[in-house]
Amino acid sequence: MVSETYISDSWVESTFARLTLAEKSYLISGDSMWNTYAIPRLGVPAIKFTDGPIAARGSKWIEGVTAAICPSTISMAATWDCESLSKIGRVLAEEARSKRADLLLGPTVCINRSPLGGRNFESFGEDPYLNGTLAASYIDSIQERGVGTCLKHYVCNDQETDRFVVDCVVSERALREIHLRPFEIAIRQCKEQPWSVMAAYNKLNGVYCSRNKYLLENVLRKSWGFNGVTMSDWHGTNSIVPSVEAGLDLEMPGPTKRRGQFLIDAFELGHIKEKTIDECARRVLELIYKTGKVGRDFAEEKEIAIVSPIHSQILREVASDGIVLLKNSKQHLPLPSQVKKVAVIGPNAAVSVANGGGSSAANPHYRTDPFNSIRQALPNSEVRTTPGCRIDKFVTLIKSECMTNPVTGGAGIHIDYYRDLNQSGDTIFEEDRTSSMLSMYDTLPRHMARKESPQYSYRARTIVRPMTSGKHKFSISSCGNSTLYIDGKEVTNIVFSWRQPRSELFMAYGSPEKVVEVDGMEAGRAYEVMVEGISKERAPNEVSWFGDMVKDELMDGIRLGFQEEERVDLLQEAKDLASDSDVVILVVGKNSEWESETYDMKSMDLPGKQNTLVEEILDINPNTVVVIQTGSPVSMPWIDQTPTVVQAWYQGLEQGNALCDVLFGRTNPSGKLPMTIPKKLKDTPCYHNFPGENKTVVYGEGIFVGYRHYDAVEVNPLFEFGYGLSYTTFGYSDLRLSSPVFTESIEVTVNISNTGSVPGKEVVQFYVAQTSAHRIPRPVRELKGFNKVFLEPGETKLVSAIFTRDSVGFWDTSCGAWVVDAGSQFELLVGASSRDIRLVESFKVVDRLVWV
């Protein structure tokens, strides 16, 4: 029998031998937003990528085919459960197949340095071991089903401020022990290495990650033995020749901006050797073969939506397992099912906050929310809701029930596109959209999306019928010039410039939002709303064969907002409802406007008047459960006032049902914090150097990220890393080590007992601490193992973990290697959190250990 490896090598080598230089130069660059180039004459198919870490979105960022949105990655991390990550991998792989995608762009394993990181929700938290271990389970589960993964963003893409250009200045030790570590763990622990690794946008110590030979060649390939494809983040290839020479295999997306003809010209001018291009092209061919598409029809298959009850059940279980019970001092939870009057209050109470913004966005198969899930769970109770306050960052999008497409008659907007810049002549393209967020990022035909294509103009039209009479708000933001008309009358316009301040809209490429008030609007009356605009002028970009080139992402579109006049006192309405209820479920938090790719947060405070809402509702009804939906820590000035707090994250499709399961005791909460929740921002390790200045950020905290910092400086957080309560209790006993002397490894075992009255899961956490004198600073303790175990009341199970030299070593910059000094003494600590340590045993290392 001929081995699969031989067949792969044979096809790759025979195909590679017939490639022309031009074909190689295009093969290592994208052809479209989500596809690579196909070479039909050689039977080389295009491969298709899809975002993202929590959903296989398909080929459209907005309004694409519906998808299963999984719990946010930070919520997955809060499960501390590799089995849960394997289940998520099954869902994502099957969803990717339904979108005809070959490779999923995830997982993200960058470290959460600050509570203000805009993309914190998209990573596994603050600890490299937890990040890497969970990522490995995620990767294995997806890839064993024939879909590839992309480990990202390599490396230090842990802030959004100036993310395309910021220089992250990091010491070698901090880089090795903290920021590179989750990538290394994931690559080494996977049964099969991730098929690809994505280079980050930012610079590392002065060199862009996309052209950083130290990262891409020395560390990734030579040190770790990575044999897959390295690719740029989207529009993140900053150079022509240097990126190829550094080993960046694939530029994405397409049409190409740095390769293709540029590489052909560079070769002819003697700037690059063909064998350098060959190395990248061969690895891309290997990836293409892995997808299983060789020999199949080149026609792209239609994306479909498959709503699977099995997937829904998996997402519900994993979401509920990630919910963290932070406080339950009066045992309000679980709630009784016979409660008569329930108030579900808060800006997130009756809306679906499924995910953060940016790459995690997707069009969900369906939505659930706390209010409707609670109402379904309590059919015999009176369940009412009110928001209590607003947290809109921008004027809200036009509600579907208020707008009518003038062409189709359904809900939505019609857009016509023109070749010129004044909306005249024949249309070259038209489309109907259901949302007033009209991103043109990946919806344009290929001939309009090319960098060298001329600018175009467009006209978007809809009919708006207000639900109430009054003074209402319209808003507009655009990429490029635009003008807003109502009933044929111009009401505002935007003159776009590359030099003007940008908003946080359109991935930070949109103009600042302009808001106008229109008085005297009548309920039910039809108003014709039209926007005329032009695509933005391409950024200036001179060719540089060896230098860095400016980022020139193609992002066009308009955002239309419409918000009717608020004529009620929302806070008073909430107080009245709370006073007339037996139980209040107070759902506060953020959403994709506040936590998103492309920008960081400004504070840890809940947006709007939510803190006031919490305090006043607690004064009126002490039987209140505060539910927090965020992807990052928030300040809780009312924490001493409330007896019950639940951290519920962004939970995807099943967020409402999963929350219900925990609140009413169908699921015993077992989530543990994958990040520290500080009392205040000033306590955080990078308070003085996040997000940096003048496009440079110094990682001044070194290795003391997250709980390592709080332990070292003896600052008490609000809730520590690894913390989480249960409806039952657990006992720890009989900690044993296989040997008191460490040579190659040590096995640890401990008995865990359910000492309460209900079934539950416990996350057993293993930490290592060097207790002997050390010549360089070391953390007080570091997570080096964990295990989640289910126990019936009265049941005891043996939990074990294996500790290797990676569990005890540190990076020694004096010799450029991992080291354990001779005679070092250690403690193995087992506990329910980083500070709730239950058992301790000692061991030692006799001989010095050194390895690379």
- What backbone phi and psi angles, to 5 degrees, belong to 197? -130, 135
297 is known as an active-site residue: no
Cα 119 to Cα 592: distance, rounded to the nearest angstrom: 10
Residues 6+ apart with CB under 8 A from 299: none
Residue 470 region by backbone torsions, left for phi larger than 0, else alpha for psi between -120 and 50, else beta:
left
Cα 211 to Cα 280: distance, rounded to the nearest angstrom: 13
- What backbone phi and psi angles, to 5 degrees, belong to 525? -75, 145
Cα 712 to Cα 715: distance, rounded to the nearest angstrom: 8
Q: Which of 31, 167, 233, 711 is catalytic?
A: 233
Six token digits for residue 181 = 């570590």
Cis peptide before 247 (omega within 30 of 0): no
Cis peptide before 253 (omega within 30 of 0): yes
Radius of gyration for the alpha carbons in the chain, expressed in angstroms and rounded: 27
Q: Going by DSSP bridges, is the β-strand pair 557-563/470-479 parallel, antiparallel, or unpaired?
A: antiparallel
Q: CB–CB of 673/647 below 8 Å? A: yes
Six token digits for residue 614 = 């919490």
Length of the chain: 852
Q: CB–CB of 783/765 below 8 Å? A: yes
String of b and e for 413-426 (b: at least 16 CB within 10 Å)?
bbbbbbeeeebeee
Six token digits for residue 309 = 């009850």
Cα 415 to Cα 461: distance, rounded to the nearest angstrom: 7
What angle in degrees, to the nearest 10, is found between the helix axes of 655-663 and 309-322? 50
**C-alpha to C-alpha distances, 349 to 147, 354, 374, 399, 626, nearest whole angstrom:** 36, 13, 10, 18, 11
Six token digits for residue 358 = 């940016």
Six token digits for residue 392 = 């809109």
Torsion of CA 169, 684, 818, 780, to 10 degrees: 160
Residue indicated by tokens 């994306």: 303
Six token digits for residue 382 = 């009176």
Three-state SS string over 254-273 comes to CCCCCCCHHHHHHHHCCCCC
- What backbone phi and psi angles, to 5 degrees, belong to 85? -65, -35
Q: CB–CB of 828/766 below 8 Å? A: yes
Three-state SS string over 264-306 comes to HHHHHCCCCCHHHHHHHHHHHHHHHHHCCCCCCCCCCCCCCCC
Residues 6+ apart with CB under 8 A from 342: 374, 378, 381, 382, 383, 384, 581, 582, 583, 584, 585
Q: CB–CB of 749/800 below 8 Å? A: yes
The C-alpha angle with vertex 139 and arms to 138 and 140, in degrees rounded to 5, equals: 95
**C-alpha to C-alpha distances, 809 to 130, 133, 633, nearest whole angstrom:** 17, 18, 30
Q: CB–CB of 534/480 below 8 Å? A: yes
Cα 625 to Cα 582: distance, rounded to the nearest angstrom: 12
CA 210 from centre of chain: 20
Q: CB–CB of 766/748 below 8 Å? A: yes
Q: Going by DSSP bridges, is the β-strand pair 745-754/849-851 parallel, antiparallel, or unpaired?
A: unpaired
Return the active site residues: 233
